[in-house]
A and B are shown apart, each in its own frame.
Chain A
Amino acid sequence: DVKVTQSSRYLVKRTGEKVFLECVQDMDHENMFWYRQDPGLGLRLIYFSYDVKMKEKGDIPEGYSVSREKKERFSLILESASTNQTSMYLCASSFEGGAKLFFGSGTQLSVL
């Protein structure tokens, strides 16, 4: 069965901390995505990657960076966490040209 795994379901961090959110997929998908989801704003794309070591900015990349050293793993990095980055973070993957995204179960990040 298709699986996208996010390392943490809930995370609490302090302002200024460096935060790593990890995502692993076992479907050999080329494309991987990081979204954040906030009430009333829907899902907004932060960064995506369509190949190893390739990355492209989404709609709201400020304050974030990403790393894709291996095909199956896509990491989201908050260099210096701020309270406005408190959100639900969703990772997703798809085949190149594929019709659907497969989502992980999400990480609820609280920055205090």
Chain B
Amino acid sequence: NAGVTQTPKFQVLKTGQSMTLQCAQDMNHEYMSWYRQDPGMGLRLIHYSVGAGITDQGEVPNGYNVSRSTTEDFPLRLLSAAPSQTSVYFCASTSLGGVQSEQYFGPGTRLTVT
């Protein structure tokens, strides 16, 4: 299994540009989520999904959209990039039927908005 994969690893955007961060998992996990990680702060939840066709907002959803057309993929779209969105983004997945709490994280995408 490849686990959770994310692309790209690094991205630089100009203010106002849009882009999509890709996330895929091959573990047939129902639950997928996007977090951002900023210096001195814990991971903050942006959006999450409990299955194909179902998404919901997390703690910091403004400026981001998600969709879940398949179990495997959960892309994150930045509609109009702002410097405040400079961060490291992590995608994670877990099984809702699991007996423990483990989330599997991808390697992250480092985004800089100038």
Q: Do A and B actually bind?
A: no
